[in-house]
Structures are given as C-alpha cells and as structure tokens.
Amino acid sequence: MEIDTLTWLQHWYRSRCDGRWEHQSGIRVETLDNPGWSVVADVGDVEAPTPVSEERSDDDWVRCDVKDGRFHGYGGPGNLREILEILRAWIRISSG
C-alpha cells in the first residue's frame, strides 16, 4: 500500500536524521509573495531528471530542479502537493 506524500516526507526526513544531518541540512517549506510555495530540501546525490518547468496559468505553475545536492521546488498556491510529489519521484528514481 502506497503512503500519501506528506507521510512519505515525514518518513524520509526521519530516515535522514542521524545526529548530524539535521543540524546542517533539512527541508524548508515557505510561502512566496506572488503567491505560491517554495520547497528546498537537502537531498545529497540525487540525480534529477530534466528540470521541471510548467506554466499552466498565473496560479498553476511549477519549477523544480536539483543543484549542488539541494532540491529547489517552486509553484503556485495550489501546487504544494505537486512539488512534493516531484521531490518524492526524483528521490525514488535515484534510490533505484
């Protein structure tokens, strides 16, 4: 049975906590003023597919990529779940 994305994120975060990682790394979810969401997560050696850039409307858009071991995801006010699902998919791909 597949777990929902928020539960997956909690498990993934907990699996990274080793007494060091959580002091230097982490996950940040913030709002943007245009409006929208920003998700930044320290993911290490994740090999991301081609960056995502979807502009469906002023309120429905996403942009995601990985640079220097850090996932950067941005999207419209209703796209937080989509951003987190892209993060999840890219980590799954890298994990084999």
What average pLDDT score do residues 17-38 get? 92
Rounded to two decimals, the pTM is 0.91
What Cα–Cα distance (Å) separates residue 78 from each residue in 10, 30, 88? 20, 13, 18
- What's the pLDDT at 95? 63
pLDDT tens digits for range 41-90: 999 887 777 899 999 999 999 999 999 899 999 999 999 999 999 999 98
- The count of structural domains within the chain is 1
What average pLDDT score do residues 23-43 get? 94
- What's the pLDDT at 83? 97
42: containing domain: 5-95
